[in-house]
Amino acid sequence: MTQPSDHVSAQDQPLEERVENRSHRPSSDAFKEFMGSHWKQAEDIEYQPDAAAEYAAQRRVTLSQRFPTDRLVIPAGAPKVRSNDTDYRFRPHSAFAHLTGLGVDHEPDAVLVMQPVAEGTGDHGSNHQATLYFRPLAGRDSEEFYANTKTGEFWVGPLPTLKELHQRTGIQTQDLNALDQAVTADTAGDSGTRIRLVRNADQNMDAMVDTARIHAKADLEESDARDAELAEFLSEMRLIKDEYEIAELRGSVESTIRGFEDIVRAIPQATQHTRGERVIETAFFARARLEGNDLGYDTIAAAGNNATVLHWIRNTGPVKEGELLLVDAGVEADSLYTADITRTLPVNGKFSEVQAKVYNAVLAAADAALAAAKPGVLFRDIHNTAMEILAQHLEQWGILPVSVEEALSPEGQHHRRWMPHGTSHHLGLDVHDCAQARREMYLDAPLREGMVFTIEPGLYFKQEDLAIPEEYRGIGVRIEDDILVTADGAESLSAHLPRTVEDIEAWMQRLWQD
């Protein structure tokens, strides 16, 4: 049987087009003409600068001072495929968010390009002119409006205009179509402009810059090193939070505290479900979506022995009376700053004697670490302080197989069997913020005012652990708070979320009686 002449055979149809075979979209000229007409004109709105705009501008000045003669390319990133033609909810790269002040999900594929100019003649007296390239809102008389499932307003809602983002960010804006020329122009020869790129954010940008470098006969090893240097500096820029960032983190923490209240209220329901951990997880997720952009990371809702699995995110287990429930969760604000808090709760509202003993040991370690935190103290010493307290308790209980001194020595570390992770990490746009910073700027660095990090000691006694008495097995405890370094000490941003055995028990009873 022959194929009708107006159809393309299956063999001739490109694979990338076959995803549209389910579509019944009309294509007649009459439809196109009618679809593009009779729409209300968009209002010409004047936009105020975003709250982050002034701070983001200063960050770009700092970046310009560090790399005054190089073209700096910072992509927001592209949507990531979840399955076939469905994507994960888009979140821009943290470096892009930090330098533009833009969060949420409205600039997929956007790229910030900072072009070098004569010294002091750029934006805000810097050495660069910044331009934000993105795909603006398509007109309702265009096919994109109704036919493009990724960017069409009929499918995904309105996108910002060039004018809107310019007024909100204070950054010059251009259509994404002009990006190629802006990134690749004038790169050849010894006098050509060098490019520094935030890599692995957008594969298309990686390919574009790599091609430009090859055509310019650039040393690719040196180019990779320059890109790594840019990533390193962008991470280290975020070690000290400004006023805007601290305010956003405070808001994320407050939303997260309300999420923990939701968790407590959900515990009775969780005990009645075969996947009770999922009941806990979804209770918190609802708060994250109601008050923020999303979760800052996958929620850990771990009951019983699952609480001894450090990153238990399957959350498929039951929540049983008499066990502990460890929840590690954080709300990510629309600005993308996230909280990161952990509480360990008795499912029935009251700690057993041995549960309280383990909990109080972890609490003592957390309190000692917080007391030690102040400007000038080495970041690594926060961890060391907590470890000393935990080792002392393990020795008192007859669990530690050696002395405290031997365990704490580099050659020992026996106590780490029950506390194998670090006590602290920086917090901000990423839950593990500043991850590309150098060791001497992070782990080995003194604390400075404006740093925000977690303090999160724990003890994890697995059910299968034959090195401990049976009464401890199946108990996992972690307590985590978000800490701001102040001029003369440190402030726990999450301090009013109950932490002591007595306060937790009273708090849970109060919420259950509401």
Q: Over 60: is that where the pLDDT of 496 sits?
A: yes
Residue 10: band (very low, low, confident or very high) from pLDDT cuts 50, 70, 90: low
pLDDT per residue over 387-431, tens digit each?
Answer: 999 999 999 999 999 999 999 999 999 999 999 999 999 999 999
Q: Mean pLDDT across the chain, nearest whole number?
A: 94
Q: How many CA atoms lie within 13 A of 248 on its CB side?
A: 24
pLDDT on residue 251: 98
Residue 11: band (very low, low, confident or very high) from pLDDT cuts 50, 70, 90: low
Q: Over 90: is that where the pLDDT of 191 sits?
A: no
Q: Over 60: is that where the pLDDT of 7 sits?
A: no
Task: Report the CATH number of the 243-513 domain.
Answer: 3.90.230.10
How far is C-alpha 263 from the chain's CA centre? 22
The pLDDT of 464-479, averaged and rounded, is: 98
Residue 172: band (very low, low, confident or very high) from pLDDT cuts 50, 70, 90: very high
State the DSSP code for 323.
S
DSSP 75-136: E-----EEETTEEPPP---HHHHHHH---TTS-TT-EEEEEE-STT-SGGGSSEEEEEEE-P
Q: Which fold has domain 53-237?
A: Creatine Amidinohydrolase; Chain A, domain 1 (3.40.350)
Give yes or no for a contact between 223 and 206, defined as CB atoms under 8 angstroms apart.
Answer: no
pLDDT on residue 1: 43
Reported as type and span, the H/E element at residue 227 is: helix 220-237
pLDDT on residue 9: 56
pLDDT per residue over 216-242, tens digit each?
Answer: 999 999 999 999 999 999 999 999 999
The pLDDT of 163-184, averaged and rounded, is: 96
pLDDT on residue 4: 40
Q: Over 90: is that where the pLDDT of 41 sits?
A: no
- Classify the C-alpha dihedral 503-351-356-421 as positive or negative: negative
Region(s) of the chain under CATH 3.90.230.10: 243-513
Residue with tokens 């790229």, as numbered in its chain: 111
- Report the predicted TM-score, pTM, of the whole model to 2 decimal places: 0.94
pLDDT per residue over 254-295, tens digit each?
Answer: 999 999 999 999 999 999 999 999 999 999 999 999 999 999
Tokens of 177: 């179509």
Q: Over 80: is that where the pLDDT of 363 sits?
A: yes
